[in-house]
Amino acid sequence: MRVAAVTGAGRGIGFAIARMLVRQGTAVVVNDVDGRAAHDAARKLTNTVAVVGNVATEAGAKAVVEAAVNEFGGLDVLVANAGFGVVGVEVGDVTAEDWSRVIERNLTSQFYCVRFAVPVMRRRGGGRIVGISSRAWLGQAGGTPYAAAKGGVVSLMRSLALELAPHGITANSVVPGSIATPALEAMDAKAREVLLRAHPMGRFGDPDDVARAVCFLAHPAAERITGQTLYVTGGRNLLLPSRTP
Ligand SMILES: NC(=O)c1ccc[n+]([C@@H]2O[C@H](COP(=O)([O-])OP(=O)(O)OC[C@H]3O[C@@H](n4cnc5c(N)ncnc54)[C@H](O)[C@@H]3O)[C@@H](O)[C@H]2O)c1
């Protein structure tokens, strides 16, 4: 049986990815820093184990990979999804602490997970790494740390693709546009309305839209697809970055 680990899978996009992987017959390590969310998510799905922890720490990331090995015998798929956005802060008001926190949660967390996952995947003869980026990486006024972190994700995946190709491990980025998740629902109504108008399809995406793209790249048959950046934005990335979030 194939084994996957999905970080930040307690809710939103990560939960949708874990659910779709389980439906496809994959055993899944469900990670979240929110213990209740992680356990609730794992309870709703079969063939999962919950790992509570912050993957922006080495110990948290290591625990995710160790759980895959100890509970299911190895790891085939890593989906580095955990992250969060901060918008509406001009660069002069971004503190050094805010900058570090956003980079750690969105980018360093992916590096830590990859670092522990790769030796396990190499022993298994291959694997799939999918990093969740954001359309913001193309440019986001008021979101410089987040945009920089998500650009780092694209660059990390491209570099991993080159480095790991001889080992049968692919690495790709999935780039969501605005997806209707608790994070988006937490925005105020006016900001959401402005954002909606920036979408050529006139509606936000669904977490399952992102999950389908991830499952495609995570499939064993996707062995020749590596270093790619797959947009799930309903066409929004074709437009110039706006001042909207
Ligand atoms: N929702 C969107 O519109 C959107 C758009 C582009 C990119 N994204 C990206 O997609 C990913 C998921 O977003 P979402 O909207 O589902 O967010 P969400 O806030 O609804 O869910 C994220 C989950 O990750 C967990 N998490 C956060 N940091 C963590 C950490 N360091 N360790 C472990 N768990 C952690 C949270 O507790 C939460 O349960 C994020 O990387 C986000 O940046 C989302």
Report the alpha-carbon distance of residue 110 to residue 80 in Å, rounded: 6
pLDDT of residue 92: 97
CA distances from 34 to 14, 147, 243, 244 (A): 13, 24, 32, 29
Q: What tokens does 22 get?
A: 């389980």
Can you identify the CATH homologous superfamily of domain 3-233? Answer: NAD(P)-binding Rossmann-like Domain (3.40.50.720)
Ligand 1 mean position, distance from CA 66 (Å): 22
Q: What is the mean pLDDT of the chain?
A: 95
Nearest protein Cα to ligand 1, atom 25: 8
**Span 152-177, mean pLDDT?**
98
Q: What tens digit of pLDDT does each residue of 2-37 get? A: 999 999 999 999 999 999 999 999 999 999 999 999
Domain boundaries defined on the chain: 3-233
pLDDT of residue 188: 87
Contact between 146 and 86 under an 8 Å Cβ cutoff? The reply is yes
Q: What tens digit of pLDDT does each residue of 136-156 get? A: 999 999 999 999 999 999 999
**Span 122-145, mean pLDDT?**
97
Q: What tokens does 99 get?
A: 């900058």
Nearest protein Cα to ligand 1, atom 38: 8
Q: What tokens does 34 get?
A: 């929110």
Report the alpha-carbon distance of residue 128 to residue 75 in Å, rounded: 9
User: Measured from the CA of 104, which atom of ligand 1 is nearest?
Assistant: 31
Band of pLDDT at residue 240, cut at 50, 70 and 90: low
Contacts of 93 (CB under 8 A, 6+ apart): none
Q: Is 186 a pocket residue for ligand 1 (Cβ < 6 Å)?
A: no
Ligand 1 mean position, distance from CA 166 (Å): 31
Ligand 1 mean position, distance from CA 12 (Å): 7
Q: Which residues of 114-149 are buried (b: 16+ CB within 10 A; e: fewer)?
A: bebbbebbeebeebbbbbbbbbbbbebbbbbbbbbb
Residues designated catalytic: 146
Q: Is 10 a pocket residue for ligand 1 (Cβ < 6 Å)?
A: yes
pTM recorded for the entire structure: 0.97
Ligand 1 mean position, distance from CA 85 (Å): 8
Nearest protein Cα to ligand 1, atom 29: 82
